[in-house]
Chain A
Amino acid sequence: MNLSGVAVVGVGVTPQRKRSQRNSLQVALDAAKLALADAGLSHTDVDGIAARWPGPGGTELAPGSADWSTLLGVPLDWIGDSYPQGVPALLDAAGAILTGQATTILITGGQAGVLGGGQVASYTRPGNEFVEPFGAFTAAHFALVAQRHLARFPHARRGAAEIAATIRNTGSANPEAVMHGRGPFTADDVLAAPPVVDPFTLLDLCLASEGGAAIVVTTLERARDLPHHPVVVLGAGMEWMRQQYVDPPRYEQVWPIGRRAAAKAFGLAGLGPCDVDVAQLYDVNSLEVARQFEALGFCEVGEGTDFALATGIGPDGKLPTCTDGGLLSFSHIGWGAPTLKIAEAVRQLRGQAGERQIPGAEVAIAAGAGSGAQYYNLALLGRAR
Chain B
Amino acid sequence: MAERPEDLNLPNAVITRIIKEALPDGVNVSKEARKAISQAASIFVLYATSCANNFAMKAKRKTLNAGDVMSAMEEMEFERFLQPLRQALEAYKKGQKGKKEASEQKRKEKKNITDENDKSRDEEEDEHMDDEQEGENEGEEEDVEN
Please say whether chains A and B are actual partners in one complex: no
Binding site for A on B (CB under 8 A): none
